[in-house]
Chain A
Amino acid sequence: MRAYLEPGAAVASVAFAMAIGVYVVAVIDGTASRLVAGGGRSDLGALLVDPLRTVAVLLTQRRRRTERPDAPGWALAPGLLGGLAATGLAVVPVGPGAAVADPSTGFVVFSAAIAFVMIAVFLHGWSPNSLFPMIGAYRYGAQALSLQIPFLLAMLATALPAESLAVMDIVEAQADLWNVVRQPLGLPIYLMVGVGVSFWGPLNLPDGADLVGGTSAEDAGTDRLAWEIARAAMLVAIAAMGAAVFLGGWWGPLLPGPVWMVLKTMGVLAVLVASRHLLARVRIEPFVVACWAVFIPLALVNIFVSGALLL
């Protein structure tokens, strides 16, 4: 394990990155919404202030209690999701030798964080003791189980050329050729699954409109705010890792490495966030079938091809 920062500084820098990232997600979301809706005037000031206004309104709402909830679980779920996002974000390097943490198993840490998202979402749906959150929780079970394997396989392929599970090494190995070129199947699978893991847009099945908000249907005020922030933070973590392992991380001409990393993360983030306004909600049943019958085989092909090229 290579540690680069004192624990206090590490926590502060992850928190800072998360706060900026979440704000950027909100701004991209608002911009995409206005572009798709068309007709209305796009006022830059309003776009930048709107997220803060939403936060202010949510802070003034009092929290709600349902009948016989699992109160600790309810309070814990957004914290768990946010913590997992922070864990994922912490192992993403922003430049050569510049990362909050770079364990030799950074890849495994990130994958484990993604796997635990299922527990956070299920807890969030289970705790309010209410119908729609519960259905949302059940649904995410089916969704997450189907996503995890293609997700791991798509990411695992990126570790092959580096012959290491440290994310820093995976980025280093892309000096000549980015993984997105080397493994053209990997990034689309990763993005699709990334939207699913952070249950966003077309794959927002646990918190979907048909469930009037699903696992967050009973949330008010700070509960809702915390959950939304954690969800957006998860998107940021996914985008940052995608930029690092598929798009060559800090590699790029002219500009300094960290700037490239930020630009690439924003690019991936824009694609992920915009999907919410461009694609209809996926039906859970065909989606589960597609994961097992299409995406897992595709991800395996991706791995075999990458392996064969190394031999």
Chain B
Amino acid sequence: MPVFAVAGMGAQVQVDDLLLEPRLRLVDSPAAANVLLIAGAVPPHLSTQLAQLHDASSRPRVPLWWSLGSSLVPPIPPMVQVHEVGPSGLVDAVVHTHRALLLGELPSSPPVLPDEDPAPWRGVGPFGQGGTGMTGGVPYGRPMAEVAPDRDGLRLDQLTVRIGPFFARFPTGLVLAARLQGDVIQQAEVIAAPEGEPAVEIDVRTPFRQALHAPVPVSVLELERARSHLRSIASALVAHQLSSLARRVLRFANQAHPDQAEDVEQLRRLLRRSQVLGWATRGVGTIPAAQLEGTATGPVARASGVEQDERAADPAYLGLGFEPVIHDGGDARSRIAQRLNEADQALKLAGRARDRYHDPEAPLESPRGRLAVGDLPAQRLLPLLPAVLEGMEWGDAVSTVVSLDLDTDEVLALRSPDRELPVP
């Protein structure tokens, strides 16, 4: 069953795990899917884009909402609702819905948006161009390609586009406004929030969010850290077109337990042989250490050689022999290697932690960096993106964004006015 899945608030992990369901096939493009799966809460400010996504999926189609405990109904009315938390209940529902759709028992969902041009035609020439000759202007609200000098000193077409907020390889809510020449990004800007929208509250119960308010066993935190890192590696594998290998890593992540040193070693060999830790990521998206000093952005900073880990100052970790792992290089390859090593370390720490508890007063190192109320790792990472992405091939840009492992929930929460994203 081809399914296009949108991960809303608190649903990224569950959506990623659907890769393990043999009866579903997660597709990258809505055109390939009949079922539009909306998981968790999608904030109302994304309703127009969600409607576009719905209208772009193939008929006969059906929007299906997997609530995952959320009460915020998606901005486009779902025809089928699934309230079971387990994936097997969802898969049954999807298969059943798909069958009903094909047998005609369930009508195909009609278009949500009217069939008209998104903006009035604003042009003077016979082909809708707004300026002189064949260039310039914004016919139907979309900027036409313009010529601009490229890196080889030629003057080539430049295309202004927006990618997101439901681009399959990015966290939901991340919009990249880019100027492209061929598939080279000449200029990029990160847009996380339209103006004047109400804030979206994070209401997600992961061990790290709990640890902000209550004591949580260190072993629980470390196992969750290992899982998070392994899942991040799995999504990097999907982005590099290795979804079969990603399935293996995901299964490993879901069964993570403290004595798995051998499995980690095997995973390292697989990554090296498949070249994910090789030419596919070497030199991609290098972020110099100077840009990351003092940002406390976790594995991303440590992969650039910045020795900063909140756990080093955490009394719960004293006596566990904790020492931060660091890499140098600062590229996508080091970030994947860094996460693999940290996952390995986290599994070992979880085995040694016994009955230690993390104190909510102590600083907290989440899998993505320092986490505190109102201080999210994604907030510190997103402003780095434009400078890093400039001049990059599109494929490398995707590898880079994936290697930063941005949290969907955090990106969606970055909209509140008091957590203004400092976009340069």
What are the residues of chain B within 8 A of A62 when measuring CB–CB?
58-60
Would you list 22 pairs from A and B whose C-beta atoms are within 8 A, ordered by A residue? A36-B248, A37-B251, A57-B2, A61-B59, A131-B163, A135-B182, A202-B275, A209-B239, A210-B395, A212-B28, A212-B29, A213-B29, A221-B58, A224-B31, A278-B242, A279-B242, A280-B275, A280-B276, A281-B241, A283-B279, A283-B393, A284-B183
Q: Is B199 an interface residue (CB 8 A)?
A: no
Interface size on A, residues (CB 8 A): 46
What are the residues of chain B within 8 A of A220 when measuring CB–CB?
31-32, 58
Asked if A138 meets B183 with Cβ closer than 8 Å, knowing A217-B29, A280-B275, the reply is yes
What are the residues of chain A within 8 A of B183 when measuring CB–CB?
135, 138-139, 284
Question: CB distance B245 to A36 under 8 Å?
Answer: yes
CA of A135 to CA of B1, assembled, Å: 27
Per a CB cutoff under 8 Å, which of A32, A38, A202 touches B241?
A202
CA of A39 to CA of B169, assembled, Å: 25
CB distance from B94 to the nearest CB of A (A): 12
Q: Is B247 an interface residue (CB 8 A)?
A: yes
Question: CB distance B31 to A219 under 8 Å?
Answer: yes
Q: Is A183 an interface residue (CB 8 A)?
A: no
Other than the given A36-B248, A37-B245, A282-B280, 8 more pairs (CB < 8 A) read A33-B243, A131-B159, A132-B29, A139-B183, A212-B169, A220-B31, A280-B280, A280-B281
List residues of chain A with CB under 8 Å of any chain B CB: 32-34, 36-40, 57, 60-62, 64, 131-132, 135, 138-139, 201-202, 204-205, 208-213, 216-221, 224, 276-286
> Which residues of chain B from 128 to 173 have a CB within 8 Å of any chain A CB?
159, 161, 163, 167-169
Asked if A209 meets B169 with Cβ closer than 8 Å, knowing A64-B58, A280-B240, the reply is yes
CB distance from A5 to the nearest CB of B (A): 38
Residue of B with least CB distance to A43: B22
Question: CB distance A37 to B248 under 8 Å?
Answer: yes
Q: Is B13 an interface residue (CB 8 A)?
A: no
CA of A132 to CA of B398, assembled, Å: 13
Asked if A282 meets B58 with Cβ closer than 8 Å, knowing A139-B183, A201-B241, A213-B29, the reply is no
CB distance from B52 to the nearest CB of A (A): 12
Residue of B with least CB distance to A39: B251
Question: CB distance B241 to A212 under 8 Å?
Answer: no
B: interface residue count bin: 35 or more
Residue of B with least CB distance to A278: B274
What are the residues of chain A within 8 A of B59 when measuring CB–CB?
61-62, 64
Residue of A with least CB distance to B392: A285
What are the residues of chain B within 8 A of A40 when measuring CB–CB?
22
What are the residues of chain B within 8 A of A61 when measuring CB–CB?
34, 58-60
CB distance from A96 to the nearest CB of B (A): 40
Per a CB cutoff under 8 Å, which of B58, B238, B275, B393 touches A279?
B275
What are the residues of chain A within 8 A of B161 when measuring CB–CB?
131
Per a CB cutoff under 8 Å, which of B159, B243, B399 touches A210?
B399
Residue of A with least CB distance to B27: A213
What are the residues of chain A within 8 A of B274 when measuring CB–CB?
278-280
Among A33, A34, A60, A216, residue most surrounded by chain B Cβ atoms (within 10 Å): A60
What are the residues of chain B within 8 A of A205 when measuring CB–CB?
395
Among B59, B182, B183, B243, residue most surrounded by chain A Cβ atoms (within 10 Å): B183
CB distance from B7 to the nearest CB of A (A): 15
Residue of B with least CB distance to A33: B244
CA of A213 to CA of B395, assembled, Å: 12
CB distance from A199 to the nearest CB of B (A): 11
> Which residues of chain B from 47 to 74 have a CB within 8 Å of any chain A CB?
56, 58-60
CA of A220 to CA of B4, assembled, Å: 13
Asked if A277 meets B396 with Cβ closer than 8 Å, knowing A62-B59, A221-B58, the reply is no
Asked if A283 meets B398 with Cβ closer than 8 Å, knowing A209-B169, A220-B31, the reply is no
Per a CB cutoff under 8 Å, which of A37, A139, A216, A283 touches B280?
A283
Q: Is B303 an interface residue (CB 8 A)?
A: no
Question: CB distance A209 to B241 under 8 Å?
Answer: yes
CA of A210 to CA of B241, assembled, Å: 8
What are the residues of chain A within 8 A of B180 when measuring CB–CB?
135
CB distance from A88 to the nearest CB of B (A): 25
CB distance from B265 to the nearest CB of A (A): 16
Question: CB distance A281 to B240 under 8 Å?
Answer: yes
Q: Is B389 an interface residue (CB 8 A)?
A: no
Q: Is B214 an interface residue (CB 8 A)?
A: no
